[in-house]
Amino acid sequence: MMYFAFLFGFCFVFWMVGVSCNPSPYYGVLSLVIGAAFGCGLLVSMGGSFVSVVLFLVYLGGMLVIFAYSSALVEESYPAAWGNRGGMIYVVSYVLVIVGYGAMCYWLWSMEGYGSVTIDAGGLFVVRLDFSGVAWFYYFGSWLFLIAGWGLLLTLFVVMELVRGLSCGVLRPI
Amino acid sequence: MTPLHFSYHSAFIISIMGLSLHRTHLISTLLCLESMMLSLFIALTMWPTQLQTPSLMLTPMLMLSFSACEAGMGLSLLVASSRTHGSDQLQNLNLLQC
């Protein structure tokens, strides 16, 4: 079971390599979706199931859906696919970066054994650590909560101002 | 360094390399920025989980909400540049090129 967390970590890094060296933004968005799913699995295997659900909802369901729709701005009639371009050299070099970083961690900085760190909340609790931690927002962090909400509202107006159009002022298709 | 920490460290390094070495489209840059935010979220969540301090769980929630703001603003800039330049190709953003 502890090696399962290591598998999730490995798949997460693999799909992040796929995001960084995508041949076309369509494949980049897909790689980010699957990598975020494995990142959520990594968080669940550590006992943080609530933050994993929040990541799924806000990140995948909110932000990446918008990114998937915005990749329609790319407008390539013949998008490149994996493996048939000079972009494969990027894939190989990113994998070599990860392998080199792992080798440095192992030989220079004494990376510890595999599958040895999986933290649980220490017992059979109904309310886990992440769930009770986020509940701090509502009492001790109430001012922080209000200020963050005000910042989000401000972002809405900034975005509306950015896509307004300078002299036309009408909503138009891109 | 344990393998769990190594996973988000290497994901951050790969994402920041992808951010700086992207080739054609502006949206690829924004995607690498989002993957950096994802690796930072995982890092900030591992910290209170391993130290067993629930109060530090506020930081990944705040970081996620502000990264949603940043993603929205990046996409609106993408839309604005796609309106003025016709596409989001980076070779079109050459106003300062000599």
Tell me: do A101 and A132 sit in the same domain: no
Find the domain containing B16 and state its range. 3-88
Find the domain containing A50 and state its range. 1-119
Query: Is it the case that residue A116 has pLDDT exceeding 50?
Result: no
Tell me: do A46 and A93 sit in the same domain: yes
Tell me: do A50 and A115 sit in the same domain: yes
What DSSP assignment string belongs to chain B? --HHHHHHHHHHHHHHHHHHS--SBHHHHHHHHHHHHHHHHHHHHHHHHHHT-GGGGHHHHHHHHHHHHHHHHHHHHHHHHHHHHSS-BGGG--TT--
CB contact under 8 Å between B17 and A20, yes or no, is: yes
Distance CA B53, CA A130 (A): 9
Query: What's the domain count of chain B?
Result: 1
CA count, 13 A, side-chain hemisphere, A23 = 13
Tell me: do A41 and A69 sit in the same domain: yes
Tell me: do A46 and A89 sit in the same domain: yes
Query: Is it the case that residue A140 has pLDDT exceeding 60?
Result: yes
Residues (pLDDT < 70) of chain B are 1
Determine the pLDDT at residue A122.
Answer: 52
CB contact under 8 Å between B2 and A112, yes or no, is: yes
Between the CA of residue B5 and those of A106, A145, B47, B90, what are the distances in Å? 13, 29, 10, 34
Query: Is it the case that residue A130 has pLDDT exceeding 90?
Result: no
Determine the pLDDT at residue A115.
Answer: 45
pTM (whole model) above 0.95? no
Which residues in chain A are closer than 8 Å to B14, comparing Cβ atoms?
Answer: 13, 16-17, 20, 94, 97-98
Report the complex ipTM.
Answer: 0.91
Confidence bin at A84 (pLDDT 50/70/90): low
Indicate whether B98 belongs to any domain. no
What DSSP assignment string belongs to A28-55? HHHHHHHHHHHHHHHHHHTT-HHHHHHI
CATH number of the domain bearing residue B67: 1.10.287.3510
Query: What's the domain count of chain A?
Result: 2
Tell me: do A108 and A141 sit in the same domain: no
CB contact under 8 Å between B1 and A111, yes or no, is: yes
Q: What is the pLDDT of residues A16-62, one digit of tens each?
A: 999 998 888 888 999 999 999 999 999 988 888 899 999 999 999 98
